[in-house]
Amino acid sequence: MELSSLTLRSAQEMLRSKQISSVELTQAMLDRIRKIDPQIQAYVTVTEDVALEQARRADERLATSENVTPLTGIPFGVKDCLSTKGVRTTCSSKILENYVPQYNATVIDKLADSGAVMLGKHNMDEFGMGSSCENSAYFPTRNPWDLTRVPGGSSGGSAAAAAAGLGLFSIGEDTGGSVRMPAGFCNVTGLKPTYGRVSRYGLIALASSFDSIGPMAREVYDVAAVTEAIAGLDKRDSTSSTLPVPQYTQSLGKSVKGMKLGIPKEYFVAGMEAGVESAIHKAIQQFEALGMEIHEVSLPHTKYGLPVYYLILFAEASANLARFDGTRFGLSVRDGAEDVIDVYLRTRAAGFGDEVKRRIMLGAYTLSAGYYDAYYLKAQKVRTLLRQDFEQAFEQVDALIAPTCPTTAFKIGEKTADPLEMYLSDIYVTATNPAGIPSLAVPCGFSQGMPVGMQLMGKHFNEETLFQIGHAYQQVTDWHKQLPPLG
């Protein structure tokens, strides 16, 4: 059996039955990264020594059967915006090219405690600013299904790695669709959890009130198992929820018969690619065959979702990125500088890419005197209306269904000249972040040879229901089992 095609669950079984060791599995993944990743470029940094040492320790745990978790010995990769002690963390930006944190993000500590094995750090759009993984300061990541196309963004490297078998799961981050959009483009399953469900401590922030760390893997079971491991209260994150974490994997076999699935009419309008629309409607029919009741619902403020998201994002990003000033950490351009202010200006000019500069300037404008009330404050008020739309819809249904993107993955370079057109790629995935609700991306078909993804949206802290519905769908379909044509 090709180890790169294993699911997390099948790898668990092989490790526990001693068919393979974690060192063997990890070495196989490292060998595949060396062979395949030059085509895809999913990784910014590969941590071979760290991985093999963690794998050896995992094998010791497996040998004694003490402190063994579902993730013990399982190799994974992580988006390069999560701090990793002693391992450079770049956010795919020149300004952090040689930055090595002195501490781990809480998610990284939790995965280490579970016995998981870190293979390395994934490429991304710089500071999470992009929908295609073309805005990395280092190189674009390519879609494993078609190397001329984008993998989606900003967690493009994480999705591409999961799809290509360059790790058995990935840790991504979703500020406005950055897990779900690339999961849909690359035919993997991915979760944007409820805001506060997973600690953000150690995440290099983009928009602090939107950012959500979530896993990607081949199937719902795998994503549920990883979510169990990384979710929960963290006193170092004041937005972390005190609610207990359910045992998500234990609810996966429950029937969905009699549950209510909502179709938001505002999401099914002109502009969707025909193949995407067809795949989503077939998925809805499949849910109906599983016994779910299908209801049309309305989210009347949907048309404001994209502008509200971007206005608040620009403002929060502008504030968060002010810390990168060339005086404390990261890049510092001092040659020829006349004073501290000149160092600050030269460093940011050299260290940030065009899209980051664009969003910082737009955010500063949004927050400036005379425009704060007209833009930022008004966006926050409409954000409340978006949240209320979802809350009212969930009084009628258990979950909502929509596409992750109106099209399949587009060609590299196709939208880079028009930022507005690129922003519109996010139209179906952005509203959930201002509302703070969970959303699960699940493969649901193909259009002209490229994957199509759907998203299931649920009530706050009700990931359990989304896993239940997504798992039921994957038991009667095999889209998630399709693998890209790689060597």
The catalytic site residues sit at 79, 154, 178
Residue 485 exposed, middle or buried by CB count within 10 Å (0-12, 13-18, 19+):
exposed
Q: What kind and span of H or E run contains 213?
A: strand 212-217
CA distance 179 to 82: 14
Cα 328 to Cα 38, 96, 335, distances in angstroms: 34, 11, 16
CA distance 16 to 25: 13
Q: What kind and span of H or E run contains 288?
A: helix 274-289
Contact, 408 vs 452, CB < 8 A? Answer: yes
Q: Provide the token pair at 248.
A: 């998500």
Cα 369 to Cα 150, 173, 319, 359, 362, distances in angstroms: 39, 32, 15, 18, 13
CA distance 99 to 330: 5
Closest CA to 434 of 319, 318, 316, 321: 316
What letter would DSSP give residue 375? I
Cα 90 to Cα 77, 125, 130, 425, distances in angstroms: 15, 11, 16, 25
Contact, 100 vs 108, CB < 8 A? Answer: no
Residue ranges of the alpha helices (H) in 290-377? 305-320, 340-351, 354-367
For residue 55, the one-letter residue type is: A
Q: Half-sphere exposure of 228 toward its Cβ, with a 13 Å CA cutoff?
A: 19
Q: What kind and span of H or E run contains 441?
A: strand 439-447
CA distance 89 to 81: 6
C-alpha dihedral (188, 266, 406, 278), degrees to nearest 10: 80
Contacts of the segment 18-24: beta carbons below 8 A, 24+ positions apart: 18/62, 21/55, 21/59, 21/62, 21/73, 22/55, 22/56, 22/58, 22/59, 22/62, 22/72, 22/73, 22/74, 22/75, 22/117, 23/52, 23/55, 23/56, 23/59
Contact, 200 vs 211, CB < 8 A? Answer: yes
Distance of CA 416 to the CA centre of its chain: 21
